[in-house]
Amino acid sequence: MREQRFTKDHEWIGVDGDVGTVGITDYAQSQLGDVVFVDLPEVGKKVRAGEEAAVVESVKAASEIYAPVSGSVVAVNDALKDNPGLVNQDAMGAGWFLRLKIADRGELANLMDDAAYRQFIAGLA
């Protein structure tokens, strides 16, 4: 079963074994508005939890995407280069940004589960 975790900066990570797929939440994409550009990292780049891993630009603003956990980038979603709107259409699925080989699974304990994230965004309204 895939484990899903969330950050307070509205990134999500879906964990399958030692690889995590990273994107932004539906809440985040709705706050950004229409996504027009995504700057993805190079495969092989090492990132630490909380560091910038990618950048997303919308008609409203540019925002950093932070790595939820530390690891090495093993894949990026090349489809976003030609169709950044995938982030708006399916933020929690086809609009993913990158995949990380997780360096320390213990860092996942610092992230929110689905119920905690829903409570967190409810408090933002």
Instruction: Give the total residue count for the chain.
Output: 125
Mean pLDDT, residues 12-18: 96
Q: What is the pLDDT of residue 120?
A: 97
Task: Say yes or no to pLDDT of 125 above 90.
Answer: no
Q: What is the pLDDT of residue 2?
A: 76
Task: Say yes or no to pLDDT of 1 above 60.
Answer: no
User: Which among 44, 86, 41 is positioned nearest to 66, based on CA atoms?
Assistant: 41
72-118 pLDDT, tens digit per residue, is 999 999 999 999 999 999 999 999 999 999 999 999 999 999 999 99
Which residue is listed with tokens 């879906």? 14
CATH for the 3-104+112-122 domain, from 2.60.40.10, 2.40.50.100, 2.30.110.10, 2.60.120.10: 2.40.50.100
Mean pLDDT, all residues of the chain: 96
Query: Is residue 54 very low, low, confident or very high in pLDDT (cuts 50, 70, 90)?
Result: very high
Query: Is residue 123 very low, low, confident or very high in pLDDT (cuts 50, 70, 90)?
Result: very high
Q: How far apart are CA 107 and CA 90, in angstroms?
A: 26
Domain layout of the chain by residue ranges? 3-104+112-122
